[in-house]
């Protein structure tokens, strides 16, 4: 990344600034109200037999959950590479973990309430209409088992990782934060030992968690994408499909982070070096790079299927590039790739807030259309004259957005908004040379 970000204010100054700032009440109360209203709308739709309520729920669950999960995975990647540039700002992404327990509940709702409304293959299992391999894969018990185990493992690892990160900061700061988390903070402080030993033992533990998480994240989201998106057209298959799904969440998580950096900079005027223009540029470069990567894997999937010209594969894109579905397919491509890719070519576009916010918004909307286009055409097919896009989709989207904002605000009010420990500890840079957390002796380079 460009330059070095080694901002290390006095611990007392940093803690005082963090303690004095709380998330806006409008974000917390407004998010909760909108979230509840959106979920009430879903419940009413589900209870009255509105299939689109279930379909909108699935689209928005996949959209917001991939973003939240990818954000925590990116934070873990910073540990894998022992990054220093992001210490002051990575907590802004770690806060996305607060949505994952809500997402876990949402998955259970989908699995046990929406199975008959969403998956065309559900009632075909056991009838002999599926080929033997898909008959085995879509077995109801196996479907439940793999989804619950994979998502539980992923959420467990991601919550555990963020817990270890937050624990370091809570352990060296006086008690403050939202009252609902006082018990959690007390547990974090329990048995918190000498600062240098805590740094190395936590650093070692986080390295193990992060690597395992990366493996579970990649494999797990491929399976979840197959089950909750690709399987809706159970005649289609693509080995690149899962990558496209979870890397879209990764991209938009970074785009949201770029916007949050601007917002948090305004929140902490007394800490001008907490968020700098170098951060703007570095995160902007990441947004540009992963816009290119998302475009690469998306077009590569299309290109291989196009020149292979096999009917069992080409029908997937033929449907989405014709009739009523063509506008949303083009909107997904233009908003997620074309606009931000060409828009973010220059340095100024990455550092100038209005343009960065514009391209982040474009990417956010584009990925939502991408999720919509992945799911809805597979359910409705070609026999639609008008897009099923309106009240149900937008209302339930607002509900998920409200819950996402509310959970994030609650987390950020409950725990320090920056990595106090790694920014202020006199031992913070020792992690660049790993030591044995038991003996505190440097490890050989190969370890």
* Residue range 85-119, pLDDT digits in tens: 999 999 999 999 999 999 999 999 999 998 888 99
Encode pLDDT of 314-327 as tens digits.
999 999 999 999 99
Contact present, 367 and 248 (Cβ < 8 Å):
yes
Distance CA 253, CA 265 (A): 18
Question: What single-letter DSSP state applies at residue 338?
Answer: I
- How many degrees, rounded to 5, is the angle at CA 87 between CA 83 and CA 91? 120
| pLDDT recorded at residue 446 | 46
In a 3-state reduction of DSSP, which class is residue 270?
Answer: coil
Contact present, 373 and 320 (Cβ < 8 Å):
yes
| pLDDT recorded at residue 237 | 87
Average pLDDT, integer, range 165-192: 95
Contact present, 410 and 178 (Cβ < 8 Å):
yes
Q: Answer yes or no: is pLDDT of 435 > 80.
A: no
Encode pLDDT of 55-83 as tens digits.
999 999 999 999 999 999 999 999 999 99
Least confident of 2-16, 88-102, 103-117, 337-351: 2-16
Question: What single-letter DSSP state applies at residue 441?
Answer: P
**Which pTM does this prediction carry?**
0.95
| pLDDT recorded at residue 3 | 46
In sequence order, which residues have a C-beta less than 8 Å from that of residue 93 and are 6 or more positions away? 71, 72, 74, 75, 253, 257, 260
């Amino acid at each position: 990344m460009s330059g070095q970000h080694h901002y290390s204010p006095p611990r007392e100054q940093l803690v005082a600034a963090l303690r004095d700032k709380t998330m806006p009440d409008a974000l917390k109360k407004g998010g909760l109200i909108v979230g509840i209203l959106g979920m009430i709308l879903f419940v009413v739709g589900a209870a009255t037999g509105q299939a689109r309520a279930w379909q909108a729920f699935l689209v928005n669950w996949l959209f917001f959950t991939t973003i939240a999960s990818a954000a925590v995975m990116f934070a873990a990647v910073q540990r894998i590479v022992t990054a220093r540039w992001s210490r002051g700002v990575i907590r802004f992404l770690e806060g996305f973990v607060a949505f994952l327990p809500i997402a876990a509940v949402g998955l259970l709702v989908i699995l046990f309430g929406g199975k008959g409304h969403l998956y065309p293959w559900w009632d075909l299992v056991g009838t002999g209409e599926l080929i033997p391999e898909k008959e085995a894969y879509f077995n109801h018990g196996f479907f439940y088992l793999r989804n619950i185990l994979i998502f539980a493992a992923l959420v467990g690892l991601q919550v555990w990782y963020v817990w270890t990160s937050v624990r370091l900061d809570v352990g060296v700061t006086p008690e403050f934060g939202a009252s609902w988390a006082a018990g959690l903070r007390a547990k974090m402080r329990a048995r918190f030992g000498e600062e240098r030993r805590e740094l190395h033992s936590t650093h070692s533990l986080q390295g193990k968690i992060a690597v395992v998480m990366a493996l579970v994240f990649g494999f797990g989201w491929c399976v979840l994408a197959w089950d909750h998106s690709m399987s809706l057209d159970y005649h289609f298959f693509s080995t690149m499909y899962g990558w496209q799904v979870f890397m879209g969440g990764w991209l938009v998580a970074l785009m949201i982070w770029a916007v949050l950096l601007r917002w948090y900079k305004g929140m902490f005027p007394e800490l001008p070096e907490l968020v700098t223009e170098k951060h703007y540029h570095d995160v902007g470069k990441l947004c540009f790079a992963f816009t290119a990567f998302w475009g690469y894997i998306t077009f590569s999937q299309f290109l291989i299927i196009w020149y292979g010209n096999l009917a069992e594969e080409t029908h997937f894109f033929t449907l989405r590039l014709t009739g009523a579905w063509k506008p949303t397919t083009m909107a997904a491509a233009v908003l997620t790739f074309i606009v931000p890719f060409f828009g973010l070519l220059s340095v100024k576009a990455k550092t100038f807030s209005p343009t960065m916010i514009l391209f982040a918004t474009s990417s956010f909307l584009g990925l939502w259309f991408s999720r919509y286009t992945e799911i809805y055409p597979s359910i409705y097919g070609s026999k639609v004259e008008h897009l099923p896009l309106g009240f149900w989709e937008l209302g339930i989207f607002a509900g998920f957005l409200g819950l996402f904002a509310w959970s994030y605000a609650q987390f950020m009010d409950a725990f320090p908004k920056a990595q106090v420990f790694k920014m202020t500890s006199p031992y913070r840079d020792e992690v660049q040379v790993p030591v044995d957390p038991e003996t505190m002796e440097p490890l050989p380079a190969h370890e």
